[in-house]
Structure 1
Amino acid sequence: MYGKAFAPEYQGALGSLSVNSSLADVLVRATEQLRTAERHGTPREAARCSLAVAEAHRRLGNTGEAERAWKASYRTARGADDPAAMAWAAWSGGTLARQRGEMALARRLLALAAELGDRADDVLARGYALAGLAETGRIQGDYEAVDALHEQLLAEARERGESRHMVWALEGIAQMRRNTGAYDAALAMFEEAAAIAEKAEDHRGRAWALRGVADVLSVRDGDTERALALLTEAAALCRTMDLAGALAYNHKMRGNVLYRAGRYPEARTAYERARREFLAMGERRGEALARLGLVKTHARLGREPARTAADLDGLHRDLDAIGLRHARQLTDGARAELGLTPAIAAA
């Protein structure tokens, strides 16, 4: 069993905020409460409010403001000798670093958050930090290292009845299964995640889960129209909450679905939109993946092979620089799909 989804990153005076609250509204309220805490000289409350400000900015794509806010939260929490608040601030900073493609920094900050959460006996802070480490490894393609951690965190979330983390873990495991070709298992997990999120009133989790269901239905069954309908439903949830990053990934997935269906002009439009959105929020991984879709689409629309090969060489360098260990697999897969000569590995 599980309860309604809640947002543990909204603490103190902001504890009544819903996981589905509009991020624009969260930012306004958190900023107001931060000013109040600063006026009243309550540093622990100020640290909690700065955390909410950081998370709102991060999810809205305002990465510079998010960085300043999480660092302010950490400094204030450290001054107040509050390791739990320090843990949450480090978690926010690590999540932002991953969003920016700074994987080594993300790992350091998330490991620090896990240590601080353990020291403070804050089970949720520790769990979120470990989940962040697991997600970082998954994004980098290091499935063997993090598969068991995903399963462990899913079991812990089920035991605690924490729906939001159940949804997260199911989606992460499903993504790994999908990427290794286990489409049936992936679909079952994405669908379970979507159902749990719906019952728990977790709109964010449901939006991501629907994106996963759409992907599998497209790649396994070629069910383009169903996939597009699910992405439209998920995009509406993202817009309701101002989820800029999730919406950009939704648009990139729309490009993937249209590309697989051979609807290349429409796919190009979707990829171009997603790339602009990723660039605006400094999301290097998403921008590179949208660019990969564009390179493939332009090739299908007649771009000369030499230019496509050069574009893929550049993409490989950019993906590798971000720390994606499967960069060569991604670009070599595109070369094989497009009938290009494999790249020569660097000495």
Structure 2
Amino acid sequence: MAHVAAAQQEPLREAAQQGKAFAPEYQGALGSLSVNASLTEVRARGIEELRAAEASGDRREMARCHLAVAEACRRLGHNEEADRAWKAGYRAARSAQDAGAMAWALWSGGTLARQRGALPLAYRLLRLAADLGERGGDIVVRGYSLAGLAETGRIQGDYKAVGELHEQLLAEARRRGEARHTVWALEGIAQMHRNTGAYDTALALFEEAAETAGRADDRRGRAWALRGIADVVSVRDQDADRALELLAEAERTCREMRLSSALAYNHKMRGNVLYRAGRYAQAREDYALALSEFRAMDEARGTALARLGLAKSLARLGQDPAETVTELASLRQALGQLGLRHADDMIDRAADELGVGPVPGNGAPAPALAGEGTLR
């Protein structure tokens, strides 16, 4: 099976030599697909090639096709179809005794689990994927799986545990010339610096990620980097207009490539920028849009963050403080259930900022809404 993994990595080496981004999750008959291919095209091609593989009885090719379909569906927000596809791909890879293909299927499943807010399951699947990738000799899926573990820890706020892993993966990606993975690592490290208040460092890293993605023709990576730049420009420089321009550019890419999750996070960030600028009515509209998008794709973390932004905007627009406290209390529970270490701090900061509280969850009683009696 090692020779299979090596064969799968040949296009990656060629792409690395050319300095172009490469999508290693598109393999076999789908290996010619660009990293910038429309996700609807990827899904359609994957299903077409899957039928051909099933007709020929090629289990290894079936696994590759299921992987492409799973990833396209995940990024489109079709989570149930993505879930069925990665599991079918794992079964096909297992029957073919292909450890590398099994690892890629588990990586896809772990990434989907993280997107849906099931962080313990994401850890379990991604650890299995990393182990299988190492045993199967596929260094690429091993690296992607370790990156998934690092990102899961970063989302939870466990920067101490995953900061070094991010740096290690960045060094490996640069050494192998993997532009797409380099961009991912730069963005992850930048996000940690941004969240800890090191705005200058964060901005430099996001800008490097955007430049690297641009040179490598990685439109998805550049869109995410532009979102990060917009965030820092809004917070550090209070330049809402510049931030909105960056987000508008990123949105065009998200729409052209049908990047549903990235588009929803873009809309949430636009809400953040408008909220910071005191444009609360506009922020409310963008948070509401992002919330509907996150709910449609069953993305739990995005849903909670959009709810938080919407709650803050409504409070600024005159909502009854008791209603705001009730929503913040619900969000404290929702964010805590996701395993986010900073959930309580987020809610307490919001309550302090808005001048409401105490917020139930830390021993505070639930408030009563006018005309509705005591909440239970």
TM-score bucket (shorter structure): over 0.9
Task: Work out whether 1:294 is the aligned partner of 2:287.
Answer: no
Looking at structure 2, the residues matched to 182 and 340 of structure 1 have their Cα atoms a distance apart, in angstroms, of 29
- For structure 2, which runs of at least 5 residues remain unmatched after alignment? 1-15, 364-376
Match of 2:301 among 262, 278, 285: 285
Count of matched residue positions in the alignment of Structure 1 and Structure 2 = 347
Quick one: structure 1 residues 214 and 202, their matched pair in 2 at CA, closer, same or farther if it must change by over 3 Å?
Answer: same
Q: If the length of structure 2 is used for normalisation, what is the TM-score? A: 0.91
Residue pair 1:61, 1:244 contacting (<8 A) in 2 also? yes
Q: Distance in 1 between matches of 2:357 and 2:283?
A: 24
State how far apart, in whole Å, the 2-side matches of 1:291 and 1:344 are.
17
1:338 to 338, 351, 354: 354
How far apart, CA to CA, are the structure 1 residues paired with 2:216 and 2:358?
A: 47
Report the CA distance between 1:341 and its aligned residue: 3.4
CA deviation after TM superposition for structure 1 residue 230, in Å:
0.3
Give 2:54's match in structure 1, choosing from 33, 38, 58. 38
Q: 2:147 aligns with which of 131, 136, 143?
A: 131
Q: Deviations over 1:36-85 (max 9, x none)?
A: 00000100000000000100100000000000000000001001100000
Deviation at 1:162?
0.5
Partner residue in 1 for 2:162: 146
Equivalent AA in structure 2 for residue 302 of structure 1:
G
> Could you tell me which residue of structure 2 aligns to residue 180 of structure 1?
196
Per-residue CA deviations over 1:236-269 (Å, capped at 9, x if unaligned) read 0111111000000000000000000000110000
Task: Indicate the structure (1 or 2) with the bigger Cα radius of gyration.
Answer: 2
Q: Aligned match of 2:235 in 200, 211, 219?
A: 219
Structure 1 runs (4+) greater than 4 angstroms displaced: none
Cα distance in 2 for partners of 1:168, 1:342 equals 39
Structure 1 contact 77–85 (Cα < 8 Å) conserved? yes
* Deviation per residue, 1:5-60 (Å, 9 max, x gap): 00000000000000000000001101000000000010000000000010010000
Question: Are 1:250 and 2:266 counterparts?
Answer: yes
Q: Secondary structure at the match of 2:36?
A: coil
2:122 maps to which residue?
A: 106
Instruction: Indicate which of 331, 336, 351 corresponds to 1:320.
Output: 336
Other-structure match for 2:176: 160
Q: TM-score, normalised by structure 1?
A: 0.99
Q: Distance in 1 between matches of 2:300 and 2:234?
A: 25
| CA distances 1:167-206 after superposition (whole Å, capped 9, x unpaired) | 0000000000000000000000000000000000000000
- Kindly provide the CA deviation profile for residues 300-347 of structure 1, in whole angstroms up to 9, marking residues without a partner as x: 000121211111000000011111111101111101111223436546
What letter corresponds to residue 185 of structure 2 in structure 1? A
Q: Percent identity among equivalent residues? A: 67
Q: 3-state DSSP class of the match of 1:110?
A: helix
Q: Give how far 1:152 is off.
A: 0.3
Residue pairs, 1:205-216, within 5 angstroms: 205-216=221-232
Q: Which amino acid aligns with 1:139?
A: I
Matched, 1:97 2:118: no
Equivalent-residue separation in structure 2 for 1:182 and 1:331 (angstroms): 22
Aligned with 2:332: secondary structure? helix
In the TM superposition, residue 166 of structure 1 has moved relative to its aligned partner by: 0.5
Q: Retained in 2: the 8 A contact 1:267–1:297?
A: yes
Partners of 1:9 and 1:51 within 8 A in 2 = yes
Contact in 1 for aligned 2:170/2:186 (Cα 8 Å): yes
- Per-residue CA distance 1:85-117 (angstroms, 9 max, x = gap): 000000000000000000000000000000000
Unaligned runs of 5+ in 1: none
* Distance in 2 separating the partners of 1:47 and 1:287: 31
CA contact (8 A) 1:101 1:284 kept: yes
